[in-house]
Amino acid sequence: MDAIGVQQIVSALELIHSPKSTNEARREAQAFLEHVKSQEESPLWGYELALPSHNTINSITRNWYNYDEEKKLAIRKWIIDLANNLQENDPHYIKEKLAFIWVGVAKRCWGSYLATVEDTEAEYQAFVTGWYTMDKDLFDLWMLSPQTRTLVLIIFRTLFEDTYILDDPITSRRNSILTSLCTHVVLPQETLDTIYEPNANLQKSKATKEGWFVLWLKALTEFIKNGDEKGVIKTLETFKTCLNWVYSSVLTQSNVLNTLLQAVTIDSIRIKNIAIDCLYILFTRSFSRSSDMDAIVGSIFKPEGMQLLTNIYQEIRLDPDDIDDEYYSFAKKVTEMIVGLCEHLQTVDEKTSDISNYLKLVLSTTASDSLTISAISLNFWGNMLRENDKIEIIDEYIFDLLEVAASKMLNYSSLPEEHVSCKYLAFDFNSHADSYSFLNNYKRLVDDIIRLTICIRAERGLQWLNNRLEVFFSSDIGSTVLTSETLDYHQEPFILTISQFDIVEASVRGIVRWKIWYGNADYNEKLEQLLGTVEILLDKLLAMQVKDPVVLKKLIQLYVQFTPLCKDNLIFKVIERLLTVCTFECPEGASDELASTIKDLRTTCVKIAEYFESRGISPDADLLKTPMDEQGLKLKAELKDRWSALFPVRSTRLLIQYSIEKLPKDSENFKNLLALWKPRVTPIIPHILQLLYQIQAYHNPENWKPLPRIVQSFVRDTTVERFWQMGVSIQSRDEFLEENVKAMHTLRDFADSVGHIVRYTREYVFLSLATISNLDDTLYTIPNIADIFWRAATGENVGITLHSWKHMISIMLRPVIKNCPPAHVGNFMRQLLPQMFVTLDELLVNKWEKVYISGLQFDEDDAQLSQEMMEEHILRQVTQVITRLLVDCVGQYGHKSPLTDTQLEIRRLIFNDKNILAPFLQLLCHIIMLKDSRCSFNAILIIRAVLNDIVLKDEEVDKFLCENLTKSIVHCLTIDFYRESQGESAYVLTSLYINMKVHGPYMQQVLRSLLPNSLDADFKELEQGLDTAKNIREQRNSMLHFIQTVKEHSDDDESMKRERLRQLDAVQKKKKGDTDLMNDPFLENGALGNLFGDN
């Protein structure tokens, strides 16, 4: 490039970064630079600019394999020259960018000569091509100056991240060569001689006998001694990427542990955080020799090592009123490191190890005011309590643990914001939904600790529980609970009382577990003693008199928990108490009233109209501002009784469910009950479905037109669903509850009551049909039942809300599909699935389209915006449950459970019938492209599970896959929003691309149309990568590299760095604990119990 061309680039850069430039000028300058990036010569221009530019990175990524050897060597020389000319005042990003370029070249060519036979030395030209001097070049830089030393550390850190940590498509294709070279240059020669056979080609690649690990450790010691914070940080960052794979004898011989512990004590929070990361890796890695593990892990378990860890943890000072992010992160990392040592508890030397103080230290982290710190050790305690051979290890601290767990058994979401734990929670979680999910899981783990502890120490545990209850209810707070008519649900008396009852419930379940767990000869004698203690405890609870209705409800639920442990005489006491509390005197004449002729909906609406007219209520009246009178209360009660008598569906469902639940379907008892139920249930199924259809029709405004205007207005109010959602609703929860309490004294309560009756009845219909589906083929043998079923559920779908869709799919449709006997899949599913897939597809497409459109509006007021957020929140839940439904049908790649016989039959049906397969694939393609990364990811996993069974079977299906599935997958692969699923997306696209080669160039033509930036050379490189790959993973990485090369993007350096950090963080989190991808706190957890529960 001539001087004019260089000046053009400089001018373009100045225009982009100048605050005085117009948007149009910036766009033109950016377009020019994008053009420059596409040119093969752009690395040269970067060099002439004396700046390792983004153009250089882009060109290497895109054009490296198209360069001839002369250009490749020239680029390497330019990079080395730039590195050697690094100045002290050069900004840090220059070093980072230069390191990226260096590694970008190294990943593609370093060690290419190792592809030759190992015991034959390669030709000189092969060595040159494979950059055999790279280690020497780096060593020369290391010795040159402090700034080049920093560059070397960044280069190795980046190379190790790409080779060992990240799923980098380039390094994975050359993984064996790169890992061999990294190991060879990092380890000392004397260590290599003991573990590997001599290799002339590898030896030629190594510059020093010491190896880099020893050099870095010496440098780290020097940096610490001289107080060079930047040097310490950069060296630790590089150590962090190699401590997991360096041969373990090197770790012990170099005494790296002491150096890292020394680094943790430095008064710099950045150094502390990175040093703790290194220690965590060191303590949780595998060791090739037990002596190496003893030297590192064993030494930290010794009294002096344990005292050092205790000091490190206790010296952390956190202020909940002014939380320092870095110090808080350090506290979490220290806790993770401490708990991570637990995997060595059974392997360290008991005589020299201070196990007692280790457990004491872990327990102190469990007691932390920060629940996220406390939660780190909960799984450890649970695992120790579950395994008999580990219980003895923690025996000394079992009851201390029980006290800590009991103190944590609180409903933190009800605590005031000024509570210390709530301050940490507010800092830890940006969304209330995340906080809610975390707290549910936290409480479950704490509950488990109490349950397990009471199980293994039952006698003493019950004494502990008895004493705890005595102390609490004899305290001032306990007396307040026993004497107050109502309690404030956000204050200590209520919260702590519910906590005591939760502890009792967990303890009772612990005794139930003891009956299974305990296997000694004195079982019967011990059981009698325990049941006697349980009876004393229950007697005290039965005698307890509380007046607050919510506390009373919790107490009643607690009574029921005792029933598996009660003898006959005590069962009667429980029943008597329940009847006393729950039964009210029935008014005279009620039986005659219930036995009277049931009025239809039209007659009921006439009564409503007459009442409204008597009150002078207009169609536009605000019911919330209109008080309820005696006549209204009487009419509301009358309607409630009539609807209850009209719809006995709840009692029917309960009777069936309780008679068959927990019975194996091949047992004689189940077969006898089935023979009893089938002839009695079959005739009522059409009536249940007709009831469902009528309830759905009730919500359709078209069906209200024959009614008087005043009644239409009222019916509209009955169909309104009111929810409060954390982080979405404008009102606070207290304001929402207060409004609903006020509504109880107005005509809105009249509308709410009728609406609740209708909706609850619908939910009971859902549950009834789900229960009936458990009666073998009872539901499925009725002629045309699938059509009747779907018409009842969705024939009047205009008024079905998203909330109702969610529950209908979750608690009715999914069980009906899962419980279908394999022999009836052919008839039932052939009718149901095509219309089901089409309806659900239309639902999602239409609803998500509204979300996209509303997202473009910027003039909403707060109330409108809150409503839109609520709609989107529920829509995501609906999308998730539909995705689960599809998994129920055909399974999912990576799913832990094997396919059921029903799923296998459904798969055969779908794959062999294009009328079903087409809407099924269309629905999946649409879900993949929705702005819900979680559902998109799971839809891709479903595709992975079915793809091999549907490709190359039918040309029409193949054409659909080429055009539609490819479009969806490319959409995910080219948009950062879906980055979590891009690895799986690439597997699908790779498999599809390879299979579709039999149809000629059509698949490639489709890809070209979707990726207009792609060139012939890109496809040539892709084909070469696919052909030479040894397995599907390497083929996938070739596809990822292809997509990254050709997709249109304008990532700047900062965005690239942020994305890299995000990937590293994701890998670290994955290593520390996997999560269930499909787990959702909003789904299938007591669906009916939670329905409208917040109203």
Would you state the pLDDT for residue 477?
92
* Tokens standing for residue 298: 């064993």
**Residue closest to 428 by CA, chosen among 367, 368, 372:** 372
Long-range Cβ contact pairs of 378-381 (< 8 A, separation 24 or more): 378/442, 378/445, 378/446, 378/449, 379/445, 380/339, 380/342, 381/405, 381/449
Residue 571 falls inside a structural domain: no
Last residue of a domain, which of 320, 352, 368? 368
| Tally of domains within the chain | 4
Residue 787 falls inside a structural domain: yes
Q: Tell me the mean pLDDT in the region 458-462.
A: 96
Element (H, E) at 66: none
User: Looking at 341-345, 369-373, 662-666, which range is the least confident one?
Assistant: 662-666
Element (H, E) at 1006: helix 1002-1010
Residue 1092 has pLDDT above 50, yes or no: no
Q: Are 940 and 1036 in contact (CB under 8 A)?
A: no
Same domain? For 881 and 1011 the reply is yes
Residue 122 falls inside a structural domain: yes
Q: Please provide the average confidence, as pLDDT, over all residues in the chain.
A: 83
User: Looking at 110-119, 348-357, 525-534, 1050-1059, which range is the least confident one?
Assistant: 1050-1059
User: Looking at 458-462, 607-611, 829-833, 875-879, which range is the least confident one?
Assistant: 607-611
Residue 51: pLDDT band by 50, 70, 90 thresholds? very low
Which one is predicted more confidently, 348 or 553? 348
Same domain? For 24 and 172 the reply is no
Residue length, the chain? 1095
Q: Measured between alpha carbons, how far is 538 from 527 in angstroms, rounded to an integer?
A: 16
Same domain? For 787 and 797 the reply is no
Q: Measured between alpha carbons, how far is 168 from 820 in angstroms, rounded to an integer?
A: 44
Share of the chain above pLDDT 70, in %: 78
Q: Are 273 and 326 in contact (CB under 8 A)?
A: yes
Q: Are 271 and 233 in contact (CB under 8 A)?
A: yes
* Three-class DSSP category at 906: helix
The pLDDT tens digits of the residues spanning 466-489 come to: 999 999 999 999 999 988 888 888
Same domain? For 737 and 876 the reply is no
Provide the CATH number for the domain around residue 276. 1.25.10.10
Residue 945 falls inside a structural domain: yes
627 bridge partner residues = 746
Q: Tell me the mean pLDDT in the region 558-576.
A: 74
Contacts of residue 643, defined as CB under 8 A and 6 or more positions apart, other chains included, come to: 757, 758, 761
From the number of C-beta atoms within 10 Å of its C-beta (0-12, 13-18, 19+), residue 112 rates as middle
**Residue closest to 1068 by CA, chosen among 438, 107, 240, 430:** 240
Residue 602: pLDDT band by 50, 70, 90 thresholds? very low
Q: Report H helices in 520-600.
A: 523-543, 549-562, 568-582, 590-595
Cα 33 to Cα 50, 234, 975: the distances in Å are 16, 32, 22
Find where tokens 């580990």 sit. 390
Same domain? For 797 and 654 the reply is no
Same domain? For 251 and 329 the reply is yes
Would you state the pLDDT for residue 413?
87
Find where tokens 């459904």 sit. 906
Find where tokens 């593990």 sit. 293
Contacts of residue 1075, defined as CB under 8 A and 6 or more positions apart, other chains included, come to: none
Q: What is the DSSP string of 764-791?
A: HHHHHHHHHTTSTTTTTTSTTHHHHHHH
746 bridge partner residues = 627
User: Looking at 629-638, 847-856, 963-972, 1016-1025, which range is the least confident one?
Assistant: 629-638
* Three-class DSSP category at 702: helix
Q: Measured between alpha carbons, how far is 539 from 532 in angstroms, rounded to an integer?
A: 11
Same domain? For 685 and 821 the reply is no
Q: Cα-flanking dihedrals φ and ψ of residue 724, to 5°?
A: -120, 125
Task: Give the number of other CB atoms < 10 A from CB of residue 527.
Answer: 16
Find where tokens 């029943």 sit. 575
Same domain? For 674 and 814 the reply is no
Last residue of a domain, which of 346, 368, 390? 368
**Residue closest to 157 by CA, chosen among 92, 87, 240, 86:** 240
Q: Measured between alpha carbons, how far is 372 from 382 in angstroms, rounded to an integer?
A: 17
Would you state the pLDDT for residue 418?
92
Same domain? For 652 and 598 the reply is yes
Residue 1081 has pLDDT above 70, yes or no: no
Residue 551 falls inside a structural domain: no
Residue 1058: pLDDT band by 50, 70, 90 thresholds? low
Task: Give the number of other CB atoms < 10 A from CB of residue 374.
Answer: 22
Element (H, E) at 328: helix 325-340
Q: Measured between alpha carbons, how far is 693 from 1094 in angstroms, rounded to an integer?
A: 26
User: Looking at 275-289, 653-667, 993-1007, which range is the least confident one?
Assistant: 653-667
Which one is predicted more confidently, 837 or 1084? 837
**Residue closest to 313 by CA, chosen among 367, 353, 356:** 367
Find where tokens 């039918």 sit. 954
* Tokens standing for residue 496: 């702590």
Q: Cα-flanking dihedrals φ and ψ of residue 746, to 5°?
A: -125, 175
Q: What is the DSSP string of 1-22?
A: --HHHHHHHHHHHHHHH-TT--
Would you state the pLDDT for residue 72?
86
Residue 980: pLDDT band by 50, 70, 90 thresholds? confident
Last residue of a domain, which of 368, 394, 425? 368
The pLDDT tens digits of the residues spanning 724-781 come to: 544 444 445 555 555 555 555 566 666 777 777 788 888 889 999 999 999 999 999 9
Which one is predicted more confidently, 503 or 764? 503
Q: Are 220 and 232 in contact (CB under 8 A)?
A: yes
Q: Measured between alpha carbons, how far is 275 from 283 in angstroms, rounded to an integer?
A: 12
User: Amino acid letter at 457?
Assistant: R
Same domain? For 158 and 177 the reply is yes
Would you state the pLDDT for residue 867?
60
Find where tokens 């990943």 sit. 107
Cα 65 to Cα 68, 77, 880: the distances in Å are 8, 17, 43
Which one is predicted more confidently, 1027 or 716? 1027
* Tokens standing for residue 300: 């930290």
Q: Are 80 and 135 in contact (CB under 8 A)?
A: no
Domain of 210 in residue numbering reads as 54-368
Same domain? For 17 and 65 the reply is no
User: Amino acid letter at 214?
Assistant: V
Q: Which of 28-37, 532-541, 847-856, 937-946 is most confident?
A: 937-946
Same domain? For 786 and 822 the reply is no
* Tokens standing for residue 69: 């050897």
Residue 1087 has pLDDT above 50, yes or no: no
Q: Are 164 and 241 in contact (CB under 8 A)?
A: yes
Contacts of residue 22, defined as CB under 8 A and 6 or more positions apart, other chains included, come to: none
Residue 1068 falls inside a structural domain: no
**What's this model's pTM, rounded to 2 decimal places?**
0.72
Residue 529 falls inside a structural domain: no
Task: Give the number of other CB atoms < 10 A from CB of residue 342.
Answer: 20
Would you state the pLDDT for residue 1057?
62
Residue 909 has pLDDT above 90, yes or no: yes
Residue 430 falls inside a structural domain: no
HEC sequence for 138-157: HHHHHHHCHHHHHHHHHHHH
